[in-house]
């Protein structure tokens, strides 16, 4: 079932989760152990992130170094298939531009279609760790809208190979990312929303936001989107604060602000266990306000903290 169908048929705010593929060498039980406690909340769909390769240098016997590409978290397509079979829940694989050619993307889409997976979230992805700025893979998509258009083309039976006979058409429901506090590379919020509108006009059916910790920023973002003519569902993305290091890591990595009240309460904490309590209560209050406002879905970035998410969601359902 498509994400947009879940939303259109819902009578109340839905719940969804997002997980990371385990590090290479870990089995699928790492995912099951993470999700098992959360399944009692009957999530409508589960997102699975995609990760680009990282450049590493392996020392050779002669002292020289050999450049290799390593993907530390492989398996997105396989994990989505496992989630669908194990839990009978719709998976939403992420697709990214970075590290993938257009042909590799097309092959991934064909694999997903064979598996009966008809949802994707398309993202440009971040710059590689050894790059100052994002650089697309040679032969790959440069921007999220280019990736989006490739998915929509496949939905119309248009493949990269022009001579495909009797091409089958994809049925993908495509989501895109939105940034309540502006994408850090956009010159201003108006331009950022214009980019988002272009993606919706190109075929995106819903938006999932970057994490935020001030609901007013989400409400303002939705209002600005509606004023610009963006009328698709806008799903808030939510994440708990669980340790003091996140006070610097999250703003630096994700370019988001922490409200004064939240940061002040965290600074009073003497241990991470206390921070987790503060973060859990903050996330619960965020969730209650958003649900009361009638958001379509509460989407939780679980990312290693399923117990915190469980403690929040159990108070909502």
Catalytic residues: 18
Q: How many CA atoms lie within 13 A of 45 on its CB side?
A: 29
Measured between its terminal Cα atoms, the distance across the chain in Å is 22
Q: Tokens for 15, please give them.
A: 């719940």
Strand partners, 121: 94, 175
Task: Report phi then psi at 208, rounded to 5.
Answer: -115, 130
230: three-class secondary structure by DSSP: coil
Pairwise CA distance, residues 82 & 1, whole Å: 16
37: three-class secondary structure by DSSP: helix
Q: DSSP alpha helices (H): ranges in the chain?
A: 3-9, 29-35, 76-87, 102-115, 144-155, 189-201, 215-227, 246-254, 260-268, 272-292, 306-313
Instruction: Tell me which DSSP letter residue 80 carries.
Output: H
Contact 235, 207 (CB under 8 A): yes
Q: DSSP alpha helices (H): ranges in 97-143?
A: 102-115
């Amino acid at each position: 079932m498509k994400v947009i169908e879940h939303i259109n048929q819902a009578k109340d705010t839905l719940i969804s989760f997002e997980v990371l593929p385990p590090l290479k060498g870990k089995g699928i039980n790492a995912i099951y152990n993470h999700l098992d406690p959360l399944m009692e909340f009957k999530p409508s769909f589960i997102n699975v992130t995609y990760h680009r390769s990282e450049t590493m240098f392996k020392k050779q016997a002669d002292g020289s170094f050999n450049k290799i590409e390593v993907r530390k978290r492989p398996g997105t397509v396989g994990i989505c298939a496992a989630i669908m079979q194990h839990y009978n829940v719709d998976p939403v694989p992420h697709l990214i531009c970075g590290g993938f050619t257009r042909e590799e993307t097309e092959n991934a889409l064909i694999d997903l279609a064979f598996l009966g997976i008809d949802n994707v979230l398309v993202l440009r992805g971040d710059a590689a760790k050894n790059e100052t700025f994002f650089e697309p893979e040679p032969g790959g998509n440069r921007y999220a809208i280019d990736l989006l258009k490739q998915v929509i083309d496949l939905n119309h039976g248009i493949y990269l190979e022009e001579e495909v006979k009797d091409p089958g058409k994809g049925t993908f429901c495509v989501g895109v990312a939105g940034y309540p506090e502006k994408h850090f590379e956009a010159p201003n919020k108006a331009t950022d929303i214009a980019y988002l509108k272009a993606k919706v006009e190109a075929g995106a059916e819903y938006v999932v936001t970057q994490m935020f910790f001030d609901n007013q920023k989400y409400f303002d973002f939705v209002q600005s989107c509606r004023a610009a003519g963006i009328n698709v569902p806008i799903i808030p993305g939510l994440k708990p604060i669980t340790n003091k290091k996140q006070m610097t890591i999250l703003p630096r990595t994700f370019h988001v602000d922490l409200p004064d009240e939240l940061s002040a309460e965290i600074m009073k904490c003497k241990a991470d266990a206390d921070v987790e309590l503060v973060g859990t209560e903050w996330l619960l209050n965020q969730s209650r306000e958003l649900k009361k406002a009638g958001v379509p879905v509460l989407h939780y970035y679980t990312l290693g903290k399923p117990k915190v998410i469980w403690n929040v969601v159990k108070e909502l359902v």
